[in-house]
Structure 1
Amino acid sequence: MEDRFITPLQPLRSMAAVSGLGNVNGEARVADSDTIKGQEGISAFKSIFEEAIDNVRSTEDTLAKRQYQLATGQIEDPHTVGIASSEAQLAVDMLVSLRTKALEAYNEIMRISL
Protein backbone atom coordinates (compact mmCIF):
# COMPACT_ATOMS: atom_id res chain seq x y z
CA MET A 1 0.00 0.00 0.00
CA GLU A 2 1.33 3.43 -0.83
CA ASP A 3 2.27 5.84 1.95
CA ARG A 4 -0.59 8.31 2.17
CA PHE A 5 0.07 11.92 2.96
CA ILE A 6 -2.91 12.47 5.25
CA THR A 7 -3.81 9.60 7.50
CA PRO A 8 -7.48 9.34 8.45
CA LEU A 9 -8.50 9.86 12.06
CA GLN A 10 -9.60 6.76 13.89
CA PRO A 11 -12.86 7.33 15.79
CA LEU A 12 -13.27 6.30 19.37
CA ARG A 13 -15.23 3.12 19.75
CA SER A 14 -18.84 3.60 20.75
CA MET A 15 -20.02 2.66 24.20
CA ALA A 16 -21.98 -0.23 22.74
CA ALA A 17 -18.89 -1.62 21.02
CA VAL A 18 -16.80 -1.29 24.19
CA SER A 19 -19.38 -2.93 26.40
CA GLY A 20 -20.25 -5.66 23.92
CA LEU A 21 -23.88 -4.54 23.63
CA GLY A 22 -23.66 -3.82 19.90
CA ASN A 23 -23.59 -6.40 17.16
CA VAL A 24 -21.12 -6.80 14.28
CA ASN A 25 -23.06 -4.47 11.96
CA GLY A 26 -22.88 -1.60 14.47
CA GLU A 27 -26.61 -1.78 15.18
CA ALA A 28 -27.71 -1.64 18.77
CA ARG A 29 -29.35 -4.74 20.12
CA VAL A 30 -31.21 -5.25 23.33
CA ALA A 31 -29.13 -6.89 26.01
CA ASP A 32 -30.41 -9.10 28.79
CA SER A 33 -29.83 -6.24 31.21
CA ASP A 34 -30.07 -2.49 30.61
CA THR A 35 -27.04 -1.77 32.77
CA ILE A 36 -23.46 -2.88 32.84
CA LYS A 37 -22.51 -3.98 36.34
CA GLY A 38 -19.40 -4.82 38.26
CA GLN A 39 -16.03 -5.39 36.67
CA GLU A 40 -17.46 -5.27 33.14
CA GLY A 41 -18.71 -1.72 33.69
CA ILE A 42 -15.45 -0.64 35.29
CA SER A 43 -13.41 -2.08 32.44
CA ALA A 44 -15.66 -0.42 29.82
CA PHE A 45 -15.35 2.95 31.57
CA LYS A 46 -11.62 2.51 32.01
CA SER A 47 -11.00 1.49 28.40
CA ILE A 48 -12.80 4.57 27.04
CA PHE A 49 -10.62 6.90 29.07
CA GLU A 50 -7.44 4.94 28.35
CA GLU A 51 -8.13 5.16 24.64
CA ALA A 52 -8.77 8.92 24.86
CA ILE A 53 -5.56 9.46 26.85
CA ASP A 54 -3.54 7.34 24.42
CA ASN A 55 -5.02 9.34 21.54
CA VAL A 56 -3.91 12.60 23.19
CA ARG A 57 -0.42 11.24 23.79
CA SER A 58 0.03 10.00 20.24
CA THR A 59 -1.27 13.20 18.64
CA GLU A 60 0.95 15.32 20.89
CA ASP A 61 3.96 13.17 19.97
CA THR A 62 3.12 13.53 16.28
CA LEU A 63 2.80 17.29 16.66
CA ALA A 64 6.15 17.56 18.43
CA LYS A 65 7.77 15.45 15.70
CA ARG A 66 6.27 17.61 12.93
CA GLN A 67 7.34 20.82 14.66
CA TYR A 68 10.88 19.52 15.02
CA GLN A 69 10.95 18.50 11.37
CA LEU A 70 9.69 21.93 10.35
CA ALA A 71 12.27 23.71 12.52
CA THR A 72 15.14 21.64 11.11
CA GLY A 73 13.96 21.87 7.51
CA GLN A 74 13.32 18.15 7.17
CA ILE A 75 9.66 18.50 6.22
CA GLU A 76 8.54 19.13 2.67
CA ASP A 77 4.93 20.06 3.40
CA PRO A 78 4.70 22.71 6.15
CA HIS A 79 0.92 22.47 6.35
CA THR A 80 1.26 19.06 8.03
CA VAL A 81 2.22 20.95 11.19
CA GLY A 82 -1.15 22.71 11.16
CA ILE A 83 -2.96 19.44 10.55
CA ALA A 84 -1.09 17.75 13.41
CA SER A 85 -1.87 20.74 15.64
CA SER A 86 -5.58 20.50 14.83
CA GLU A 87 -5.59 16.75 15.50
CA ALA A 88 -3.89 17.27 18.85
CA GLN A 89 -6.34 20.01 19.82
CA LEU A 90 -9.33 17.84 18.88
CA ALA A 91 -7.94 14.94 20.92
CA VAL A 92 -7.52 17.18 23.97
CA ASP A 93 -11.00 18.64 23.49
CA MET A 94 -12.46 15.13 23.33
CA LEU A 95 -10.68 14.08 26.51
CA VAL A 96 -11.84 17.21 28.33
CA SER A 97 -15.42 16.60 27.15
CA LEU A 98 -15.30 13.01 28.37
CA ARG A 99 -13.98 14.14 31.74
CA THR A 100 -16.65 16.82 32.05
CA LYS A 101 -19.45 14.38 31.20
CA ALA A 102 -18.09 11.83 33.67
CA LEU A 103 -17.99 14.46 36.43
CA GLU A 104 -21.51 15.63 35.58
CA ALA A 105 -22.75 12.05 35.73
CA TYR A 106 -20.99 11.48 39.06
CA ASN A 107 -22.48 14.66 40.53
CA GLU A 108 -25.95 13.66 39.29
CA ILE A 109 -25.60 10.25 40.91
CA MET A 110 -24.51 11.88 44.17
CA ARG A 111 -27.66 14.08 44.15
CA ILE A 112 -29.95 11.07 43.95
CA SER A 113 -31.52 10.50 47.34
CA LEU A 114 -32.12 6.96 48.42
Structure 2
Amino acid sequence: MEINNQFITPMKPWTFGESVSERNTMPKESEGATLFKDIFANAVNNVKLTQADVENKQYLLATGQLEDAHSLPIAESKAAISLSMMVTLRNKALASYNELIKMNT
Protein backbone atom coordinates (compact mmCIF):
# COMPACT_ATOMS: atom_id res chain seq x y z
CA MET A 1 0.00 0.00 0.00
CA GLU A 2 1.43 3.33 -1.09
CA ILE A 3 0.98 6.39 1.13
CA ASN A 4 0.17 9.69 -0.54
CA ASN A 5 2.23 12.45 1.12
CA GLN A 6 1.03 15.46 -0.86
CA PHE A 7 -0.63 16.97 2.23
CA ILE A 8 2.27 16.33 4.59
CA THR A 9 4.93 19.03 4.76
CA PRO A 10 8.17 17.89 6.39
CA MET A 11 9.44 19.95 9.30
CA LYS A 12 12.79 21.72 9.05
CA PRO A 13 15.22 21.04 11.89
CA TRP A 14 16.09 23.98 14.12
CA THR A 15 19.70 24.97 14.34
CA PHE A 16 21.25 26.35 17.50
CA GLY A 17 20.89 30.12 17.76
CA GLU A 18 18.27 30.43 15.02
CA SER A 19 15.33 32.67 15.87
CA VAL A 20 11.79 32.23 14.66
CA SER A 21 12.06 35.24 12.34
CA GLU A 22 15.25 33.84 10.77
CA ARG A 23 13.55 30.53 10.15
CA ASN A 24 11.03 32.14 7.70
CA THR A 25 8.65 29.18 7.51
CA MET A 26 5.93 30.95 5.52
CA PRO A 27 6.27 30.44 1.76
CA LYS A 28 5.28 33.25 -0.61
CA GLU A 29 2.23 31.33 -1.81
CA SER A 30 1.01 28.65 0.53
CA GLU A 31 0.85 25.14 -0.85
CA GLY A 32 -2.69 24.72 0.49
CA ALA A 33 -3.93 27.71 -1.51
CA THR A 34 -2.36 26.34 -4.68
CA LEU A 35 -3.89 22.94 -4.02
CA PHE A 36 -7.36 24.42 -3.42
CA LYS A 37 -7.01 26.61 -6.50
CA ASP A 38 -6.21 23.55 -8.60
CA ILE A 39 -9.08 21.54 -7.15
CA PHE A 40 -11.56 24.37 -7.69
CA ALA A 41 -10.31 24.98 -11.24
CA ASN A 42 -10.73 21.28 -11.99
CA ALA A 43 -14.26 21.39 -10.58
CA VAL A 44 -15.17 24.37 -12.78
CA ASN A 45 -13.69 22.69 -15.86
CA ASN A 46 -15.57 19.49 -15.03
CA VAL A 47 -18.84 21.44 -14.86
CA LYS A 48 -18.11 23.05 -18.23
CA LEU A 49 -17.26 19.73 -19.86
CA THR A 50 -20.25 17.84 -18.49
CA GLN A 51 -22.63 20.65 -19.44
CA ALA A 52 -21.21 20.73 -22.97
CA ASP A 53 -21.70 16.95 -23.18
CA VAL A 54 -25.34 17.33 -22.10
CA GLU A 55 -25.97 20.05 -24.67
CA ASN A 56 -24.38 17.92 -27.40
CA LYS A 57 -26.48 14.89 -26.48
CA GLN A 58 -29.64 17.03 -26.36
CA TYR A 59 -28.89 18.30 -29.86
CA LEU A 60 -28.25 14.78 -31.12
CA LEU A 61 -31.49 13.55 -29.55
CA ALA A 62 -33.48 16.43 -31.05
CA THR A 63 -32.09 15.76 -34.52
CA GLY A 64 -32.57 11.99 -34.24
CA GLN A 65 -28.86 11.21 -34.34
CA LEU A 66 -28.53 9.86 -30.78
CA GLU A 67 -28.31 6.08 -30.97
CA ASP A 68 -28.70 5.34 -27.26
CA ALA A 69 -31.36 7.44 -25.56
CA HIS A 70 -30.24 6.39 -22.08
CA SER A 71 -26.96 8.30 -22.41
CA LEU A 72 -28.72 11.68 -22.12
CA PRO A 73 -30.11 11.12 -18.59
CA ILE A 74 -26.74 9.72 -17.54
CA ALA A 75 -24.97 12.82 -18.88
CA GLU A 76 -27.52 15.07 -17.14
CA SER A 77 -26.90 13.26 -13.85
CA LYS A 78 -23.15 13.66 -14.23
CA ALA A 79 -23.58 17.38 -14.93
CA ALA A 80 -25.85 17.80 -11.90
CA ILE A 81 -23.40 15.99 -9.62
CA SER A 82 -20.41 18.01 -10.86
CA LEU A 83 -22.33 21.27 -10.37
CA SER A 84 -23.38 20.18 -6.90
CA MET A 85 -19.77 19.38 -6.02
CA MET A 86 -18.58 22.78 -7.25
CA VAL A 87 -21.28 24.59 -5.26
CA THR A 88 -20.38 22.58 -2.16
CA LEU A 89 -16.70 23.49 -2.57
CA ARG A 90 -17.63 27.16 -2.91
CA ASN A 91 -19.87 27.04 0.17
CA LYS A 92 -17.18 25.34 2.25
CA ALA A 93 -14.60 27.90 1.13
CA LEU A 94 -16.91 30.78 2.04
CA ALA A 95 -17.74 29.21 5.40
CA SER A 96 -14.03 28.78 6.13
CA TYR A 97 -13.33 32.37 5.11
CA ASN A 98 -16.11 33.63 7.37
CA GLU A 99 -14.69 31.62 10.29
CA LEU A 100 -11.27 33.16 9.70
CA ILE A 101 -12.79 36.65 9.67
CA LYS A 102 -14.55 35.94 12.98
CA MET A 103 -11.27 34.83 14.53
CA ASN A 104 -9.59 38.15 13.72
CA THR A 105 -12.26 40.30 15.37
How many Å apart are 1:30 and its aligned residue?
Answer: 4.4
How many Å apart are 1:44 and its aligned residue?
Answer: 1.4
Q: Equivalences for 1:94-109 in 2 at 5 Å?
A: 94-109=85-100
Post-superposition CA distance 1:23-59 (Å, at most 9, x none):
x9354574325xx854233321211110000000000
Flag structure 1 segments of 5+ consecutive residues without an equivalent. 1-23
* Matching residue's letter, 1:42: A
SS in 1 for 2:60: helix
* Matching residue's letter, 2:97: Y
Aligned length in residues:
89
SS in 1 for 2:2: coil
1:64 is aligned to 55
Flag structure 2 segments of 5+ consecutive residues without an equivalent. 12-25
* Matching residue's letter, 2:60: Q
Greater RCO, CA 8 A, separation 6+: 2
Give the TM-score normalised by the residue count of structure 1: 0.68
Instruction: Confirm whether residue 88 of structure 1 aligns to residue 88 of structure 2.
Output: no
Instruction: Confirm whether residue 53 of structure 1 aligns to residue 31 of structure 2.
Output: no
**Larger CA Rg, structure 1 vs 2:** 2
